């Protein structure tokens, strides 16, 4: 069923740079494509890819290396040339892993074993956050909007200082959360009165209207309600938005997903799952009562679930999904016409990346297409039954079991056949891996390519390598 197109309001594409920061020339090509597909801005999450200076220099990444100050300015200048606003996202409470993992800052954790949550009672913590924000704002001349994160503040209230604070009558974990966020928001407004402040909404979902009204956040922040599921509950979401509005938090945003929300280790995204998520958001927008509206939507594309988790889908594989999701918002549904528009712009025959036609590189029309094709091809081989279950094949289980290997009681003729099969698979995999790596390092730092290979390829190749080595060791003792 067709919904009205997305109402007036910005469509921001989320650039999550942790772990797989595109090389700057590739980043420019991506931004140009985002604009052509219908995006009007970028929500940029730098984490350790931002060139922090002074006492914060320890936050800079080394593998991958941090963007330079000139590269950050170049990103903004190029986005402005495409009439796209840049909204920086800096975490200020939860998901502070990239900050609190550093030994000199361990004392600012809420709990020693919870790397992501900032202790809200330490004045040094607030100073740290404000210095991070100051450096980011100053390197974004003309910035109008800032996102302060504040989602998934795990284990809040469990630290010793929090327990002492909560021991006073009437105090709650909700108030503890609101107290810190209010301090941050007020400090931002004092330093930069013109800035709009967005924050994730999830920590406020269970709060009642009175708690929100009395929080001090009214007039300071704009909640961004996120839900990435294809079966998003429209009625509950509308009710939640109404609650925020009634509480005085009337400047509201939505956040959907075009990649990075299916599973923590997903390699190749499925477009229709993400399109369905956007169809549900269109239903939400259409069902809002008069007076309640959304300022915009951020199409999130997570690179990792958090700073210390594995890589999700790389951007080239998600561009068909992004195009389909943006056109779903623009058209009100992913109609045949909308699909044709996306396919023509990207030079593909389907919005599902797994259905890419294999074409010569010079015919590829979207940036990173060659890498997407190579990863899909390699991924199919990695997940083939012949390779995944090689150790469970009849030959291996019947003539080269762990028992037989240990006792060197093997049939040389059959085990050499096993060796030949495993070696052939290894050679094919290695050839495909080299092609993926060669292409990936054109678009990403070499350490990103190395991580991707170690995560997705090495666990599959290791058993084959062990078998080939064991076969040779066994046969050596049985053949003159």
Whether 148 and 193 map to the same domain: the answer is yes
Residue 122 to residue 107: CA distance in whole angstroms: 9
Q: What is the pLDDT of residue 9?
A: 82
Domain that residue 264 falls in = 10-362
Strand partners, 226: 255
Whether 304 and 413 map to the same domain: the answer is no
- Among the listed ranges 104-108, 180-184, 403-407, which one has the minimum average pLDDT value? 403-407
Whether 310 and 204 map to the same domain: the answer is yes
From 100, 319, 131, 87, select the one nearest 224 (Cα to Cα). Answer: 87
Mean pLDDT of 264-279: 95
344 labelled catalytic = no
Question: In which band, very low, low, confident or very high, does the pLDDT at 363 lie, cut at 50, 70 and 90?
Answer: low
Q: What is the pLDDT of residue 364?
A: 56
Q: What is the pLDDT of residue 431?
A: 97
Mean pLDDT of 279-307: 96
With both helix axes pointing from N to C terminus, report the angle between 24-37 and 69-81 in degrees, rounded to the nearest 10.
20
What's the CATH code of the domain at 340? 3.20.20.80
Cβ count near 431 (within 10 Å): 11
Looking at the domain assignment, is residue 409 inside a domain?
Answer: yes
Looking at the domain assignment, is residue 367 inside a domain?
Answer: no
User: Which residue would you say has higher pLDDT here, 378 or 359?
Assistant: 378
Whether 453 and 345 map to the same domain: the answer is no
Contact 165, 121 (CB under 8 A): yes
Q: What is the pLDDT of residue 3?
A: 86
Is the model's pLDDT at 1 over the cut of 70?
no
- Among the listed ranges 194-203, 221-230, 413-422, 439-448, which one has the minimum average pLDDT value? 413-422
State pLDDT tens for residues 78-114.
999 999 999 999 999 999 999 999 999 999 999 999 9
Looking at the domain assignment, is residue 3 inside a domain?
Answer: no
State pLDDT tens for residues 140-158.
999 999 999 999 999 999 9
Looking at the domain assignment, is residue 21 inside a domain?
Answer: yes
Is the model's pLDDT at 357 over the cut of 80?
no
Choose one of 362, 388, 408: the last residue of a domain.
Answer: 362
Mean pLDDT of 272-277: 97
Mean pLDDT of 264-288: 96
Is the model's pLDDT at 478 over the cut of 80?
no
Q: What is the pLDDT of residue 271?
A: 96
Choose one of 333, 362, 391: the last residue of a domain.
Answer: 362
**Burial status of residue 480 (CB atoms within 10 A of its CB: 0-12, 13-18, 19 or more):** exposed
State pLDDT tens for residues 379-397.
999 999 999 888 888 988 8
Stated length of the chain:
480
Is the model's pLDDT at 360 over the cut of 60?
no
Cβ count near 64 (within 10 Å): 20
Interstrand relation of 109-111 and 114-118 (parallel, antiparallel or unpaired): antiparallel
Whether 472 and 324 map to the same domain: the answer is no
Cβ-Cβ contacts under 8 Å for 450 (sequence gap 6 or more):
437
Whether 234 and 325 map to the same domain: the answer is yes
Whether 176 and 113 map to the same domain: the answer is yes
Whether 53 and 18 map to the same domain: the answer is yes
Mean pLDDT of 257-283: 96
Prior bond of 64 cis (ω within 30°): yes
Question: In which band, very low, low, confident or very high, does the pLDDT at 399 lie, cut at 50, 70 and 90?
Answer: confident
State pLDDT tens for residues 9-30.
899 999 999 978 999 999 999 9
Whether 347 and 411 map to the same domain: the answer is no
Of the residues 32, 71, 152, 158, which is catalytic? Answer: 152
Number of domains in the chain: 2
**Burial status of residue 460 (CB atoms within 10 A of its CB: 0-12, 13-18, 19 or more):** middle
From 19, 171, 21, 155, select the one nearest 93 (Cα to Cα). Answer: 155
Looking at the domain assignment, is residue 231 inside a domain?
Answer: yes
Looking at the domain assignment, is residue 60 inside a domain?
Answer: yes
Residue 138 to residue 441: CA distance in whole angstroms: 31
Looking at the domain assignment, is residue 4 inside a domain?
Answer: no
Percent of the chain having pLDDT more than 70?
A: 98
Question: In which band, very low, low, confident or very high, does the pLDDT at 432 lie, cut at 50, 70 and 90?
Answer: very high
**Burial status of residue 211 (CB atoms within 10 A of its CB: 0-12, 13-18, 19 or more):** middle
Whether 109 and 139 map to the same domain: the answer is yes
**Burial status of residue 458 (CB atoms within 10 A of its CB: 0-12, 13-18, 19 or more):** exposed
Q: What is the mean pLDDT of the chain?
A: 94
Whether 296 and 391 map to the same domain: the answer is no
Question: In which band, very low, low, confident or very high, does the pLDDT at 358 lie, cut at 50, 70 and 90?
Answer: low
Whether 295 and 328 map to the same domain: the answer is yes
Choose one of 315, 339, 362: the last residue of a domain.
Answer: 362
Looking at the domain assignment, is residue 460 inside a domain?
Answer: yes
Q: What is the pLDDT of residue 412?
A: 85
């Amino acid at each position: 069923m067709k919904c009205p197109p997305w109402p007036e309001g910005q469509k921001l594409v989320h650039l999550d740079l942790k772990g797989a920061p595109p090389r700057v020339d590739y980043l420019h090509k991506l931004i140009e494509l985002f604009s052509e597909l219908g995006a009007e801005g970028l929500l940029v999450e730098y984490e350790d890819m931002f060139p922090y200076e002074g006492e914060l220099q320890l936050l800079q990444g080394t593998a991958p290396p941090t963007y330079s100050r000139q590269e950050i300015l170049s990103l903004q200048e190029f986005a402005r040339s495409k009439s796209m606003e840049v909204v920086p996202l800096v975490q200020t409470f939860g998901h502070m892993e990239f900050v609190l993992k550093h030994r000199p800052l361990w004392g600012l954790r809420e709990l020693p074993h919870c790397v992501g949550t900032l202790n809200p009672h330490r004045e040094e913590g607030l100073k740290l956050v404000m210095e991070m924000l100051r450096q980011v704002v100053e390197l974004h001349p003309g910035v109008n909007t800032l996102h302060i994160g504040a989602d998934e503040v795990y284990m809040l209230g469990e630290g010793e200082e929090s327990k002492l604070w909560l021991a006073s009558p009437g105090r709650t974990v909700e108030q503890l959360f609101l107290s810190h966020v209010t301090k941050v928001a007020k400090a931002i407004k004092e330093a930069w009165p013109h800035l709009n402040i967005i924050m994730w909404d999830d920590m406020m979902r269970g709060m009642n209207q009175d708690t929100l009204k009395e929080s001090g956040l009214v007039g300071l922040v704009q909640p961004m309600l996120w839900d990435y599921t294809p079966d998003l509950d429209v009625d509950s979401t509308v009710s939640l938005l109404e609650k925020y509005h009634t509480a005085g938090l009337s400047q509201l945003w939505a956040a959907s997903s075009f990649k990075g929300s299916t599973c923590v280790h997903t390699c190749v995204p499925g477009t229709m799952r993400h399109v369905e998520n956007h169809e549900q958001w269109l239903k939400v927008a259409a069902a809002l009562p008069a007076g309640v509206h959304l300022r915009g939507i951020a199409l999130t594309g997570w690179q990792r679930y958090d700073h210390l988790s594995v890589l999700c889908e790389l951007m080239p594989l998600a561009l068909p999904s992004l195009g389909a999701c943006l056109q779903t918002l623009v058209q009100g549904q992913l109609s045949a016409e909308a699909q044709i528009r996306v396919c023509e712009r990207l030079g593909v025959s389907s919005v599902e990346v797994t259905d890419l036609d294999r074409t010569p590189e010079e015919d590829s029309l979207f940036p990173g297409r060659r890498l997407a094709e190579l990863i899909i091809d390699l991924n199919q081989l990695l997940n083939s039954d012949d390779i995944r279950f090689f150790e469970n094949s009849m030959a291996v289980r019947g003539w080269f079991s762990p028992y037989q290997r240990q006792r060197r009681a093997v049939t040389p003729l059959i085990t050499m056949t096993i060796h030949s099969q495993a070696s052939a698979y290894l050679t094919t995999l290695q050839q495909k891996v080299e092609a993926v790596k060669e292409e990936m390092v054109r678009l990403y730092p070499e350490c990103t390519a190395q991580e991707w290979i170690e995560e997705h390829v090495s666990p599959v190749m290791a058993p084959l390598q062990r078998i080939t080595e064991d076969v040779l060791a066994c046969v050596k003792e049985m053949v003159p």
